[in-house]
Structure 1
Amino acid sequence: MLQTVSGPITAQEAGRILEHEHVLVGFVEDGKLTPELYNRDEVVTSILPFLLKLAEAGCGTMVDCAPEYLGRDPYILRRLSELAGIHLITNTGFYKKPYLPSFVYEISERDLADIWTREALDGIGESGVYPGFIKIALNDGTAIDDTQLKILLAAMRTSLETGLPIQCHTIGPDIALHAYEIMKRAHFDQERFIWIHAQTFKDTVVYERLAEAGGWISIDSIMKGTYGEHVDLLAQLLDCGVGNRLLLSQDTGWYNVGQHKGGNLRPYHHLFTDFFPAAAASGLDPHWLEQCVTSHAFQAMSRRA
């Protein structure tokens, strides 16, 4: 089952799933983003046409990946879900420096996991909305710093205690391999783990190691102007045998707090209306493309026992 902002759904109800997109994002440092900094009605009005277009393109479910302190707003998501007739999924978890509140640096891994576990079991505040996954980030570079290590370990603990999968912002192969080794030493089931922005790895050996451990590899930022390189990457990943661990999304949307009417919003529907036909015309199997956004995405995002 997938946990949406309106309740759990089955694979049949979920349909096509975009597993890494954004509604509202606010890059306000030190965890100081609050609802007072944006207008909820304006966000809903701005995003709704894009979700209606996505539903028209045959997508049933979209995963919003902004964690708390970076734009997560369960009230907006539930309204949009009702108005657009599309399933939306939100999260528990935190991002990375400098967008963390000060208490994150001070509390223990156990206390951090307790915050997220409570949201998973009791809902997010008074909203009545439950998270469907854990969203975290690793710092960009070659090694995980102490703060992001604590967040990673807390996410692993929360996943074990709640069954929620983890989506992790990961840029580059070195940082991915560091996290991979940490989870391997902890005997953590990496099938619970989704490597976001994996198109930045560019090393088939890395993809093979992550897939062999059970991890899900999310290829995103699939937007106009990138179709050719994404087709080439996907063909390469199929050739090296990791096609059954791949997810596809775009990382689009992005109502940016502080910009006039949210800035330059990017449509959600082009993966289905533009990229899939282009990829099929270039030789990728249309059935496999559909699996990436249906059975693969449902399995990756499902809550485990």
Structure 2
Amino acid sequence: MALTRCLPILLLVAMTATAGASEDRADFYVSKCYPPPTPTADNGGAFRGNLLYLLDALPTVAGPTGFASLSLQTAGSAVTDRALVRGLCFGGSAPKPCRRCLSNAGKKITEQCGDASRRAGFWDERCFLGYAEGANYSSAGADDDFGAVVFSGDTVPSPDIVSVRRLEALAQSLAPRAAKGSVATADATTPASKGVITAGNRTVRVLALCARDRAAADCASCLRDASLVVAKSWEVDGGAHGRVAAVLGSNCYLRFEISTPLLLIIRRMINDNPVLSASVAFLIVLVIGAVIIDGFARRTIKARNNNRNAAAATPALGMSGIKTMK
């Protein structure tokens, strides 16, 4: 019956949906506000007006490509009134989520940094937004401090030291493609520690992205630093981290995503989640019960059909089949 064919699929879908709901998803933001380098005569009014205009325009401009850099200066005003805004959406975001992230970032950064800040940066797991005044643009463009290093998703053993070095090199090799404004990806296979639930070969997908206004050398330098940051995090305690490691910067984005065999992931989720365990047990009983009922129904139908066929094959006795005795 169709029910028994669908139940295993429903079982997998239910487990996947529950896992997605319980997965440790990163939900954070980091804001860094810097005071003005020099006081301004009008208390920053002209700069503030230019800044708010650019922050309002940035999501629409950046949405299609995931990056934009805008500037605005009032005619005849000092360079300190010139506002510069940059936005970078991480991981090849679609236009709509990118616009939404930058729009939210613009609201939060203006609320938290206020009129006093002439340079600021905002990061969350989806995008970066930064602004600066014209006289302070060079320091705002430098990626000397990363917004955050994030581990999220299912906990898996960290790669061994040899694999870490290979992943570092792979991440840095993506710089030429990332420098052209595209999302560069590559896959590698790494072993896991023995004796753990996710032991065995695992695939690691590496994704790299650089802001479109960075030169190739700057992109390579940013990704190199980002790969070293992740490697150091993996090596410090040598234990387990989230399945996804992401370095969120103002000029580049680097992501490592570890894939483990599906059955091992399911087994780990079941062990760690009592609610999921109960749900899986109930679904297994449901599947077994449906299989038994289906088998009984099939045998009943088959027996009924056999009886009908046997009855149809037996010839009826008529008058022609009776011999008259004389």
TM-score of the superposed pair, with normalisation by structure 1:
0.21
The structure with the largest alpha-carbon Rg is 2
TM-score of the superposed pair, with normalisation by structure 2:
0.21
Structure that is richer in strand per residue: 2
Larger RCO (CA within 8 A; separation ≥ 6): 1
